[in-house]
Amino acid sequence: MPKPGITVYITCYNYGHYLSQAIESVLAQTRTDWELIIINDCSKDDTDRVAGRYLAAYPDRIRVFCNDRARGLLASANRALREARGHYVMRLDADDYLDENALLVMAHYLDQHPDVALVYPNYIYIDRSGNILGVEQRKRVGTETKLLDLPAHGAGTMVRNRVLKSVGGYDETYDRQDSYELWMKVVNRFQVANVPTPLFYYRKHEDSLTRDETKLLETRARIKRAHVERNGGPVYPRVAAVIGAKNTYTHLPNVVLTEVMGRPLIDYTVDAAIGVAGLETVVVTTDDQAVVEYCRKRYPEVQARMRPSDLSDERATESLVVNETVDFLELSDNYPDIIVSLNLHSPLRKAEHIQKAIDTLLLYNADSVISVYEDTDLYYVHTNHGLEPLNPARHRKIRVEREALYVGNGAVRALWRDILSKDDIAGRSVGHIVMPYMDSFSIKKAEDIRLIEYIMNQRERKN
């Protein structure tokens, strides 16, 4: 056949029972200048037989490659990319399938927009049996969203072949999140776009890699760190951490020095802060001289100081506390570029979360970044007709972008110094990092300490 305009590739590991539907959806495309590459990642089911049947029927359109051992999604994707002959490349997961016009619509968009490197569509959620659950309606790039911190889905996204190769393909260091890693490589160098049409069917089932939230978030953090290190130069922003350590709460007496698992509560936040690479200054601002003395003895590298008494008033805001601390630093000729505000009451927050917030601030055009967890409960609002769901897709146990609800857990806030004022600590553009729900617990009352200790105990047992 002539050189194809589009390469579709399918990587398959033990999804032979879905593979036929995926292949048939490519065969049914209204745009016909495509080739299909199938990578059998050493499957133990009937993947080889299914792929072989289609290879025999369409030898001029389909090529099949078998890995000598299970190498994973990223290595298989790179093998497909090395073999791809099309101008445009698209991954299709073996358990998903395409709308018949998917290639037509996306390739036409790239044909008409030569400056766009990557285009992605909306998609339809289906269950294991193929029943429709709902539609993912992505926000339109440039109009509904300008902060590009939500990546395209890895499957169903069409990318120019030369762009994929110019960024070196996929990084095989990671065992998941190929879409996130590719997005990070592309989004700051090239234009990206989306089309508002659902063009593929995404199967939700318990075998999906995306279900393990902790590993997913850890991988995203590693990807961000690698990109900051790769893109960085000889000058790195000066970063200072501010730890508010008010110790005069009537309902939480002496909370800063209260022992949690045998250690004062403040230790967990200070240890997390000093464990962050590139964080130059850590300041503890408190209203208790005992806290100052403890920190100076236990952490001589940390600046512990008494704050003005009015900053312990209930009306004192985080922005006032941080602003006063930064003023103090700058009077000492310490001029940070980035401020990290850390909540003492979040002992399950780790250095990795702080680093991820800083990296997110560096990678995206945001004024500040806050830590959140995603709330998966179903919420209602009161209307003329009584209660109506705020996020109705949760009825079908799916998460769609437009209905996603994030809860600020207060654990980390990173911001550029130049947006800070006494009245503002956020700026106009606020990015976010997602923390696991179990890492987001904070101490609001005395009973919460026991809950935190229980979580820590459970984790120690697993380790």
Give residue-wise pLDDT tens across range 325-349: 999 999 999 999 999 999 999 999 9
Of 51-55, 155-159, 185-189, the poorest mean pLDDT is in: 185-189
How would residue 153 be classed by pLDDT, with cut points 50, 70 and 90? Answer: confident
Residue 313 pLDDT greater than 50, yes or no: yes
How would residue 204 be classed by pLDDT, with cut points 50, 70 and 90? Answer: confident
- The C-alpha atoms of residue 286 and residue 69 are separated, in whole angstroms, by 57
Q: Name the CA dihedral angle for 210, 213, 214, 220, rounded to a multiple of 10 degrees.
A: 60
Residue 206 pLDDT greater than 80, yes or no: no
How would residue 211 be classed by pLDDT, with cut points 50, 70 and 90? Answer: low
Q: What is the pLDDT of residue 276?
A: 96
Residue 351 pLDDT greater than 90, yes or no: yes
Q: State the CB neighbour count (10 A cutoff) for residue 25.
A: 19
Residue 88 pLDDT greater than 90, yes or no: yes
∠ Cα 353 193 146 (to 5°): 50
Q: What is the pLDDT of residue 1?
A: 65
Q: Name the CA dihedral angle for 357, 232, 175, 147, rounded to a multiple of 10 degrees.
A: 50
Query: What sign does the dihedral 71-75-76-80 (CA atoms) show?
Result: negative
Compute the average pLDDT of residues 352-363.
95
CB-based contacts of 120, cutoff 8 Å, min separation 6: 106, 138, 152, 153, 156, 157, 158, 192, 193, 194, 195
Which is more confidently placed, 234 or 62? 62
Of 82-91, 220-229, 277-286, 398-407, the poorest mean pLDDT is in: 220-229
Residue 399 pLDDT greater than 90, yes or no: no
Compute the average pLDDT of residues 174-198.
86
Average of per-residue pLDDT values in the chain? 92
Residue 209 pLDDT greater than 50, yes or no: no
Of 92-96, 210-214, 347-351, 384-388, the poorest mean pLDDT is in: 210-214
Of 23-27, 59-63, 186-190, 395-399, the poorest mean pLDDT is in: 395-399
**pLDDT per position as a tens digit, 421-445:** 988 999 999 999 999 999 999 999 9
What secondary structure letter does DSSP report for 421?
Answer: B
- The C-alpha atoms of residue 59 and residue 106 are separated, in whole angstroms, by 25
CATH 3.90.550.10, the chain: domain bounds: 6-211, 233-462
Residue 117 pLDDT greater than 50, yes or no: yes
- Architecture of 233-462 per CATH? Alpha-Beta Complex (3.90)
Q: What is the pLDDT of residue 216?
A: 82
Extract long-range pairs of 224-232: CB within 8 Å, 24+ residues apart: 224/184, 224/356, 224/359, 224/360, 224/363, 225/355, 225/356, 225/359, 226/171, 226/173, 227/184, 227/185, 227/359, 227/363, 228/359, 228/362, 228/363, 231/188
Which is more confidently placed, 72 or 230? 72
Whether the CB-CB separation of 285 and 295 falls below 8 Å is answered with no
Q: What is the pLDDT of residue 258?
A: 97
| Domain 6-211: top CATH class | alpha beta
Compute the average pLDDT of residues 224-238.
83
Residue 210 pLDDT greater than 50, yes or no: no
Q: What is the pLDDT of residue 228?
A: 84
**pLDDT per position as a tens digit, 251-295:** 999 999 999 999 999 999 999 999 998 899 999 999 999 999 999
The one-letter amino acid code at 322 reads V
